[in-house]
Amino acid sequence: MLWALAGILIGIIVGLKTSLIIPMEYIKYTAIIIVGILDSLFGAIRAETTKEDYNPTIFLTGLGFNIILGVAITLLGETLGLDLYLAVAVVFTFRIFSNLAIIRRSLLQKFIKRNK
């Protein structure tokens, strides 16, 4: 998981240092990809924090699946003239908040045990 966090940090630094302009047609897709990546990252952090069975293969396949499914639903929505990307964003955001709640609870329990 440390490699994932280092990769994200490097990606943020590179992104801030480059002047890449994303065309307006791809903004929805870019947003869905970013939220899907965050969902997978917080899922990995949750697995590491709660001492569940963290597996890098599961992380990478989940990341790929999130991105492919999110982009496919967004593309389907554009084809049908619907804003289905909003549904994808809501689901990913719900999962992010759920994972953050589990991470917070786990860290708080460890903190309480350590202080006893």
Q: Write down the pTM of the prediction.
A: 0.81
83 found inside a domain? yes
> At residue 108, does pLDDT exceed 90?
yes
Measured between alpha carbons, how far is residue 49 from residues 6, 45, 102 in Å?
17, 6, 9
Domain range spanning residue 39?
A: 2-6+28-115
Nearest-CA neighbor of 96 among 48, 28, 24, 44? 44
The answer to whether 112 touches 101, Cβ cutoff 8 Å, is no
Give the pLDDT mean for 60-87.
94
Of the pLDDT bands very low, low, confident and very high (cuts 50, 70, 90), residue 41 is confident
Q: How confident is the model at residue 80 (pLDDT cuts 50, 70, 90)?
A: very high
The DSSP secondary structure of 83-110, one letter per residue, reads: -HHHHHHHHHHHHHHHHHHHHHHHHHHH
Q: In total, how many domains does the chain have?
A: 1
